[in-house]
A and B are shown apart, each in its own frame.
Chain A
Amino acid sequence: MAQVTLENVTKRYDDVTAVDDVSMEIEDGEFVTFVGPSGCGKSTTMETVAGLTKPTEGRVYIGDDDVTTLAPKDRGVAMVFQNIALFPHMDVYDNISFGLQLRTYEDEEIERRVEQAADIVQLEGMLDRMPDEMSGGQRQRVAIARAIVRNPDVFLMDEPLANLDAKLRVHMRTELQRLHRELGTTIIYVTHDQAEAMTMSDRIAVLNAGKLQQLAPPLVCYNEPANRFVAGFIGSPSMNFLEGELVDDGLETKNFTIGIDHDVVPGATIGDAITLGVRPEDVHLVEYADSLTDPTDRISARTDVLEPMGDEVFVYLLLADQAERSMDQDPASSPNQLLMSVTPDTDIQEEQSVDVVLDRSKIHIFETATGKSLAHGIVDRSDQESGPTATEAE
């Protein structure tokens, strides 16, 4: 058991910087997920912890030891790989005991530990099978058993569930959480699947282009994203972004204006280019908005396409009459489109004129130029008693 500290870790290859000055502290026993789009440097960051990649600059500490230059085998880490990486020429027992046999352990001790590990991941009776005789989920459990059998200080998991089918993935997700509770070991988990990140982690580290964007508990990343990238990456479907400007009487976007006191947006002055962000579930039809304590003014729109998902319906709204449905523009950032999520029993059709309101307490304001978050919730200070505070992310 140990905490992991990254100190200004940078990894440069010939022409790209895979990891750019990442610093973070991961507590002992914490489950931290690195999440981000492909090529954001999350796997490389993990490899610097594992020792498979040597950082160009910066230092890595596990516990109190500087392990920056240590070989992977001397770091007390265990890793589960995306491609599972069981040794195909060894049976399950040999695979699990591989690391123990390389160290000086008594045969009985090895046997006892392998059985215990197999017990934890429910692999009893399969120890003499070959990897190619097992299903994907079983193989993944062997890989996890191989990792836990050595009692590592830190677990590293590099997209361990990516190659499993959807149903098994959900099952293994709960298994991993159970495992973390049982073992209490520090776990660093890499994924591009935000559902995994949201459900399992104590904290999420969102990375983009090699830079750490935010390191915070999942719900903080969701409710108070530190910048526009985190806001757009966490949550599915993505948050709506509407570029606009801070004006005298509020916040003006291309198709509507929301009246606010501009002092609820700290650090911004009138005339600044800002971006409004609102999640699809915080866009409401006027008819169903009675429960909102703080709705915005009506915004008239026309429905475009409906996407019934079963538990909810996604409604694509066109804000301007002449709005063109451009195929090459991401609807999330188009100034003329808004994605709304409604319950399935809502009475709504395609090509229908509707009025919608936004939940003011759930509106996010970002600086357009930098993407930096300025405010979460634009409830007027005057009548703000219980509403969420406009906070900077931690």
Chain B
Amino acid sequence: MVNASQLEEAPSKGAIAQAKPYEYVLEVVNARKEFPGVVALDNVSLRVRPGTVHALMGENGAGKSTLMKIIAGIYHPDAGEIRLRGEAVHLATPLAAQEAGIAMIHQELLLMNSMTVAENIWIRREPLNAFGLVDHAKMHRMTTELFERLNIQLDPDAEVSELSVANRQMVEIAKAVSFNSDVLIMDEPTSAITEKEVAHLFEIIRGLRERGIGIVYITHKMNELFEIADEFSVFRDGHYIATHPSSEVTRDDIIQMMVGREITQMFPKEEVELGDVVLSVKNLTLEGVFHDVSFDVRAGEILGLAGLVGSGRSNVAETLFGVTPATSGTIEINGKEVSIQTSHDAIKLGMAFLTEDRKETGCFLPLDIQENAQMAVIHDDFVKYGFVQEAKLEKVCREISQKLRIKTPNMHECIENLSGGNQQKVLIGRWLLTNPKILILDEPTRGIDVGAKAEIHSLITQLAHNGVAVIMISSEMPEVLGMSDRVLVMHEGRCTGILDRTDADQVAVMDLAAQ
């Protein structure tokens, strides 16, 4: 039987193999990887010291994920070498990488939703009893011990499908830790979790660091870099740019390195003359999910919606847009009470809704850019006798695409082949085509690179300038604070306060969000 203390003392694989000392636990030397038509990595190197957090910075498309997949044994480099604990290794499969002591937490969580937490963690390594059957009691115990060590409060027997994204993240981390790996790769682990959960995650990461594990940490978020990383490496367009200790540089330096151009303003917020109240929501309730939410939005105003994940922010947006119609409360548009039972109702009323999850509720992955962009507008416009006016639509789609700077050769490229930032732009384009008066944006810049982010921010500003009423949900505090005229904060399904731009700062918002 394995007990907690044994687990704690279990030597990492490195300790066993520590025949000769090594400076770097993981080294990638001059790696090159080509895909048909693209050089994803060109002569890239990475050196990670044991007991440090090494951040990888770069825009989407810089080659970070490709590099990680090489380290995790998913891709094989065309040239170059990987050294683990000072020795060259060949990682033929993800399993080989895992056995060599490299664990990876993917950006898209790879858990089996219909199985329990414990089953997910110990899959392929289930403890067996004397009959060769899975020993569930022991597995439960092992999970509990693992969780205690990491200070995770989760029921090992809960089904993963019942957990929030943040909790699933915790399961992934626990699973990775359970391998006693020397190298732990985390691909944007905070992209879907709230500040409080991030704090917990960082606590865990610091604990792992103290145990001598080398952590490779991919992120887009600058403040995280300074908070958690010891060193960082910057990549751009498949090239290695530089490695520095994170204490020696400024935010602007890094952005400079990442984009190779200057981004002068992170949040191009403009003071806009506010118009009349366009949307007025009173006591909006979806029984059991959120209650008595009331607010107004004026033309030209950006209302930020802040709160922890699970506070009901996205549910309010979905209800406003008719995805899950309200059980009580009223919605007024331009002073007239309206009934919104379906998304089509909302679209007809001049509303638009960029959803939170690009893949789950946004993109039609098998379809091309134009088909993705036109889907919300062909209810009433651009249709004659039921026929879609393709030529006309292609023209407006191309105009929007140029305006949003979507990088694509033509409108008939499959959206699957675009980067996250460009997919997001196509989805924004889908809603711009409908000429909305009220625009709801749920995490408009999640998981996209700095350049595209800035472009989307200035686009939002421009739309507000043109008199669109904007509601913006975001888990990124700087974004909410930087872009909003007012910030509505939610906590456990209720609105706990609305702050003016001048009063809204990180502390005030967190105060209302965490109560």
Query: Are A and B part of the same complex?
Result: no
Taking Cβ atoms with an 8 Å cutoff, the residues of A that contact B are none
Taking Cβ atoms with an 8 Å cutoff, the residues of B that contact A are none
